[in-house]
């Protein structure tokens, strides 16, 4: 299994600002995913980020609000732009188990707990 780290682990931000979350993996992986989890709730997929291509966003999430970079096979960033209190959540990155089809198990980072005032 991959070891995944995220920075920052938590942050408190002001409305209207942006925050970039970093996700670092200890091995090269094809598929990386970004999820949002509101406290006590399930996980909602924001986008799939594959190296060398544009991220694929799920319904309800747009690139202008959540731009994603994937510069190499071990790193990705998610930016939460022009934040509002509704963006307060835990943001998790995950990586696929190694296959390229996307149906493998996923390994999650520790998450970034974001509070927007």
Partner 1 sequence: GQQVMQIPQYQHVQEGEDFTTYCNSSTTLSNIQWYKQRPGGHPVFLIQLVKSGEVKKQKRLTFQFGEAKKNSSLHITATQTTDVGTYFCAGYNTGKLIFGQGTTLQVKP
Site residues, partner 1 (CB under 8 A): 1, 33, 41-45, 48, 58-59, 92, 102-111
For the bound state, the minimum distance from the C-beta of residue 16 to partner 1, rounded and expressed in Å, comes to 29
Name the residue nearer to partner 1 (CB basis): 75 or 108: 108
Q: If DSSP codes are grouped into helix, strand and coil, which group holds residue 66?
A: coil
Write the CB contacts of 68 (distance below 8 Å, at least 6 apart in sequence).
34, 47, 49, 55, 76, 77, 78, 79
Contact 114, 20 (CB under 8 A): no
Write the CB contacts of 80 (distance below 8 Å, at least 6 apart in sequence).
18, 19, 21, 65, 66, 87, 91, 114
Name the residue nearer to partner 1 (CB basis): 17 or 103: 103
For the bound state, the minimum distance from the C-beta of residue 103 to partner 1, rounded and expressed in Å, comes to 5
Name the residue nearer to partner 1 (CB basis): 22 or 81: 22
For the bound state, the minimum distance from the C-beta of residue 38 to partner 1, rounded and expressed in Å, comes to 12
For the bound state, the minimum distance from the C-beta of residue 96 to partner 1, rounded and expressed in Å, comes to 10
């Amino acid at each position: 299994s991959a070891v995944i780290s995220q920075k920052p682990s938590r942050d408190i931000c002001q409305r209207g600002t942006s925050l970039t979350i970093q996700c670092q993996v200890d091995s090269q992986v094809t598929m990386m995913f970004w999820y949002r989890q509101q406290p006590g709730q399930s996980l909602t997929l924001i986008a799939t980020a594959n190296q060398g291509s544009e991220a694929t966003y799920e319904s309800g999430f747009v690139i202008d609000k959540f731009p994603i970079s994937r510069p190499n096979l071990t790193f990705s960033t998610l930016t939460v732009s022009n934040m509002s209190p509704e963006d307060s959540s835990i943001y998790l990155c995950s990586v696929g188990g190694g296959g390229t089809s996307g149906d493998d198990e996923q390994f999650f980072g520790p998450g970034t707990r974001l509070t927007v005032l």
